[in-house]
Copies of this chain bind each other. A is one copy, B any other.
Amino acid sequence: MPKPPAVPKSAAARKRPPQRRAAPDAALADSGKAARSRRTQARILDAAEELFSHHGIYGVSIRDIADRAGVDTALLHYHFANKDGIYEAVMLRRAGDVNEARKRAMDDYARKSGGKPSIEGIVRAYMQPVFERLRTGGRGFNNYAALIALANNSALWGGGTVKEYFDPAVQRLVDLLRLALPKAREEDLYWGYQFLSGALTLSYSRNARIEGLSHGRCRANDYAAIEPRLVAWCAAGLRALGACR
């Protein structure tokens, strides 16, 4: 976080204690050189994910990440070439899992509902994998989600390969909605997705404004409260959009 360098780091403070090659942890079943490398990379990505999600990609320096991961900056260049490489690796690490789960959930629901899926059912299936991971995926997934929210409201989104993971799940969502809302205009289905997406991402962003506004009645991370309300909200909105032609 090169930002408000709280205390301008003096050359002395900057100096990390010389790092001794940590002895390979014998207790770890998954030992060996390759495994150790993978664990190091994961530590680097965990650190980057956390820092990026709080400060954005330009609010974090390679050294910040290295310090938090407990390694030298040179190692980050070795594994990921440069900062963009780290950012992309962070974005991609969880992209496949969550979007495969979305497609699976929508496919399952489509099958289960026969030819008559409900809007609520479709929206719920699309969102459920994310909310599930927000509740049970620990700090890592919550950091990732906040980072996605940040990217979603910026010009950064289209940049990388992320959309190749996210877009197919969205298209599957729109395809199902088209079935359930046969009278809706094609463009309204996409506007509907856009509004849904905005409300969803704000819900797992780092913005906790609602807590102050509501005088503590709502907690920003109360996903048990958010999920059913957001499903109801989006379903009603989609129905209104689909009807007003």
Contacts and interface: CB of A to CB of B under 8 A. Distances in A.
A35 interface: no
Dominant secondary structure at the A interface: helix
A58 B2 contact: yes
B225 A191 contact: yes
Interface in A221-245: 225-226, 229-230, 232-241, 244
Interface string A56-98: 1111000000000000000000000000100000000000000
A37 interface: no
Interface in A85-141: none
Contact of A237 (B197, B206, B207, B236): B236
Contacts of A214: 186-187, 190
Interface stretch (A9-17, A22-30, A145-153): A145-153
Given A153-B152, A154-B56, A200 B203 contact: no
Contacts of A225: 187, 191
Nearest to A200: B198
- So how many copies of this chain end up in the complex? 2
A161 interface: no
B187 A218 contact: yes
Nearest to A230: B195
Given A58-B58, A158-B209, A202 B152 contact: yes
A171 interface: yes
Contacts of A191: 210, 218, 225-226, 229, 233
B202 A198 contact: yes
A208 interface: yes
A55 interface: yes
Nearest to A208: B158
Given A54-B155, A56-B154, A152-B153, 10 more contacts: A3-B57, A153-B205, A154-B207, A157-B207, A163-B209, A163-B212, A174-B213, A190-B217, A197-B202, A233-B240
24 contacts: A56-B58, A56-B154, A152-B207, A153-B201, A153-B202, A153-B205, A158-B209, A158-B212, A163-B212, A186-B214, A187-B218, A188-B229, A190-B210, A191-B210, A192-B233, A193-B213, A195-B203, A195-B230, A198-B199, A198-B200, A198-B202, A232-B241, A235-B240, A236-B239
